[in-house]
Amino acid sequence: MTAPFVPPLAGTAIPALSRLDGYVLSHTFDRPTLLIDVNRVEAQYRALSAGLGRARIHYAVKANPAREIIARLVDIGSAFDAASKGEINLCLQEGARPEDISFGNTIKRARDIAWAYEEGIRLFAADSAEEIAKIAENAPGAKVYIRLLVTTSQADWPLSRKFGCDHEMALALLAQARNLGLQPVGFSFHVGSQTRHAEMWGATLDAIAQTWEAAKALGFDLSLLNIGGGFPAFYGQEIDAPTAYAEKVMAQVTARFGDVPVVMAEPGRGLVAEAGVIVSEVMLVSRKSERDLHRWVYLNIGRFSGLAETEGEAIRYQLVTPRDADKVGPCIVAGPTCDSADVLYEKQMMSLPLSLRAGDQVLIRNCGAYTSTYSSVWFNGFEPLDVVVI
Ligand SMILES: *Cc1c(COP(=O)(O)O)cnc(C)c1O
């Protein structure tokens, strides 16, 4: 017998997601399904905006590109950070104005830059000389901001190394952009995704401010600071509420940068993670020997079907089962595919009910960010993660 889902008790650390819970209770699910409450996205947008003040939100589309999310954010006045032609197209189709979309990936195809420029996009990111040259050629006169390398990240999911350039190169790129007829307007950075506390921004902001001051001393008339993402979601460890977090970040920005005319913020995770829950199912509970002290719990979703951020066990999702009132024991949690890397939590095992068994429904909380698009297409013949927006 499959045990029915029982919503978590009031007063537990897991925030009640009543619209989502209601939907779960009244539907059956044939495959792993991400449910998104788009009202929750709106509430989160308003909460972050309230704290960000003059900084404008450019939603990082990659966190969750569901059409209904983009459409709702367009309705309530959000701008967008897009990484590709596809993401720009999506935003335009859902009614975003080109002037509210930045092409924020530092790795762009020349023909996509030209296409975006045709569509009216005028704001581009770069962190290399080759990219500046591509932008100058394909988007003449456009505004560019230089992405700075962050070496001080304290995030759970750092983005360091791959993106940004150092202080000297950043100054050289501003000059190159100006010489090629572009408008070098400022800098961007990313503190690292899931930076749990606003205080963790301080060292990064100090470093960015040094480059900012140096550029001004060289005569660059900077008008734009893009503070990127990093706004956290609740995965079980304490975080500040969104408004308080954003206020604290902006207080630190103002202390170092004064009243920069344009401040952009690019929350992804912080806007959508808590608006989503994945409905999954236990496929098997087993042990490797009679003496094994822990059990293996195999779900119908894994590293290759949406839970890519369990890589290195960096993001620890909260699981809710219908048997959470029963006695618990340590479990290794794994996905269903025939790839041995498809293990979610092993180094740090999860406490799950001993009574858990195949067929039980498992809810994975706060899964609205970086899941649906990380789902492989047909690995081992498993259906990709379904997405339902309510
Ligand atoms: C992914 C990304 C973001 C969003 O980051 P979160 O940590 O999810 O808020 C913002 N800006 C850029 C340039 C990104 O690549």
**3-class SS string, the chain:** CCCCCCCCCCCCCCCCCHHHHHHHHCCCCCCCEEEECHHHHHHHHHHHHHHHCCCEEEEEHHHCCCHHHHHHHHHCCCEEEECCHHHHHHHHHCCCCHHHEEECCCCCCHHHHHHHHHCCCCEEEECCHHHHHHHHHHCCCCEEEEEECCCCCCCCECCCCCCCECHHHHHHHHHHHHHCCCEEEEEECCCCECCCCHHHHHHHHHHHHHHHHHHHHCCCCCCEEECCCCCCCCCCCCCCCHHHHHHHHHHHHHHHHCCCCEEEECCCHHHHHHHEEEEEEEEEEECCCCCCCCEEEEECCCCCECCHHHHHHCCCCCEECCCCCCCEEEEEEECCCCCCCCEEEEEEEEEEECCCCCCCEEEEECCCCCCHHHECCCHHHCCCCEEEEC
* pLDDT score for 293: 86
* 13: in domain: no
pLDDT digits (tens, 9 = 90+) for 66-89: 999 999 999 999 999 999 999 999
The pick from 57, 62, 105 for probing ligand 1's pocket by mutation, whose C-beta has the most ligand atoms within 8 angstroms, reads 62
Select from 193, 201, 373 the residue to mutate for testing ligand 1; criterion: most ligand atoms less than 8 Å from CB. 193
Same-domain status, 267 and 282: no
Q: Is the CB of 232 under 6 A from ligand 1?
A: no
Residues 264 and 331 in one domain: no
The phi-psi region of residue 151 (left if phi > 0; otherwise alpha if psi is between -120 and 50; otherwise beta) is: alpha
The last residue of a domain, from among 272, 293, 315: 272
- Same domain? For 235 and 318 the reply is no
Predicted TM-score of the model (pTM)? 0.93
Ligand 1 centroid vs 187 CA: distance in angstroms? 15
Same domain, 71 and 203: yes
For the segment 31-61, what is each residue's pLDDT rounded down to a tens digit?
Answer: 999 999 999 999 999 999 999 999 999 999 9
Sequence-ordered list of residues with C-beta below 8 angstroms from that of 239, at least 6 positions apart, any chain: 196, 197, 232, 233, 245
CB 350 within 8 A of CB 249: no
Q: How far is the CA of 104 from the centre of ligand 1 (A)?
A: 10
- Which of these three, 217, 241, 272, is where a domain ends? 272
Burial per residue of 150-179, b for 16 or more beta-carbon CB atoms within 10 angstroms, e otherwise: bebbbbbbbbeeebbbeeebbbebbebbee
302 touches ligand 1 (CB under 6 Å) = no
Instruction: Identify the residue whose C-alpha is closest to ligand 1 atom 11.
Output: 228
- Tokens standing for residue 34: 């991400």
Q: Is the confidence at residue 5, as pLDDT, over 80?
A: no
pLDDT tens digits for range 284-323: 999 999 998 899 999 999 999 999 999 999 899 999 999 9
Task: Tell me if 87 CB under 6 Å of ligand 1.
Answer: no
Q: Is the CB of 193 under 6 A from ligand 1?
A: yes
The dihedral built from the CA positions of residue 349, 308, 235 and 2, taken in this order, carries a sign that is negative
Domain count, the chain: 2
Domain identity same for 218 and 113: yes
Cα angle 128-129-134, degrees, rounded to a multiple of 5: 100
Going from the Cα of 313 to the center of ligand 1, the distance in angstroms, rounded, reads 20
Out of 240, 272, 304, a domain closes at: 272
CB of 335 sitting under 6 A from ligand 1: no
By the 8 A CB rule, do 317 and 366 touch? yes
Evaluate whether residue 3 is within a structural domain: no
Residue ID of nearest Cα to ligand 1 atom 5? 229
186 and 86 both lie in a single domain: yes
pLDDT at position 127 over 80: yes
* 132 pLDDT more than 50: yes
Which domain CATH number covers 83? Answer: 3.20.20.10
Asked, for residue 195, whether it belongs to a domain, the answer is: yes
Strand 33-36 versus strand 276-286 pairing type = antiparallel
- Residue 301 CA to ligand 1 center (angstroms) comes to 24
In sequence order, what are the residues at sequence separation of 6 or more whose Cβ sits closer than 8 angstroms to the Cβ of residue 9?
none
Return the pLDDT at 9: 46
Quick one: 207 and 288 in the same domain? no
Q: Is 229 in the pocket of ligand 1 (CB under 6 A)?
A: yes
How far, in Å, from the CA of 161 to the mean position of ligand 1? 15
Residue at 198 is within a domain: yes
Dist. CA 201 → ligand 1 center (Å): 15
Ligand 1 pocket check for 112: Cβ under 6 Å? no
Confidence class of residue 4 from pLDDT cuts 50, 70 and 90? very low
pLDDT of residue 158: 80
Residues 48 and 192 in one domain: yes
Residue 327 alpha carbon to ligand 1 centre in Å: 39
Task: Indicate if the pLDDT at residue 147 is higher than 90.
Answer: yes
Q: Is 158's C-beta closer than 6 angstroms to any atom of ligand 1? A: no
Which domain, by its residues, includes 350?
Answer: 18-36+273-389
* pLDDT at residue 257, rounded to an integer: 97
Mean pLDDT of the chain: 94
What is the C-alpha to C-alpha distance for residues 158 and 191, in angstroms, rounded to an integer?
7
Residue 375 structure tokens: 């789902």
15 pLDDT exceeds 80?
Answer: no
- The answer to whether residue 8 is domain-embedded is no
The better pLDDT of the pair 8, 148 is held by 148
User: Does residue 230 have its Cβ closer than 6 Å to ligand 1?
Assistant: yes
Q: Do 120 and 168 belong together in one domain?
A: yes
Question: Which band of pLDDT confidence, cut at 50, 70 and 90, is reported for residue 1?
Answer: very low
Residues 116 and 252 in one domain: yes
The confidence band for 121, taking pLDDT boundaries of 50, 70 and 90, is very high
**Could you tell me if residue 230 is inside a domain?**
yes
Going by pLDDT thresholds of 50, 70 and 90, the confidence category of residue 154 is confident
d(CA 385, ligand 1 centre) in Å: 22
pLDDT at 157: 81
* Residue 74 shares a structural domain with residue 22: no
* pLDDT > 70 in the chain, percent: 95
For residue 283, give the CATH number of its domain.
2.40.37.10
pLDDT score, position 16: 52
Report the amino acid identity of residue 246: A
- pLDDT of 92: 98
Q: Do residues 252 and 149 share a domain?
A: yes
Ligand 1 center to 349 CA (angstroms): 29
Any domain includes 280: yes
Residue 354: inside a domain? yes
Contact 188, 125 (CB under 8 A): yes
Per cent of the chain over pLDDT 90 is: 89
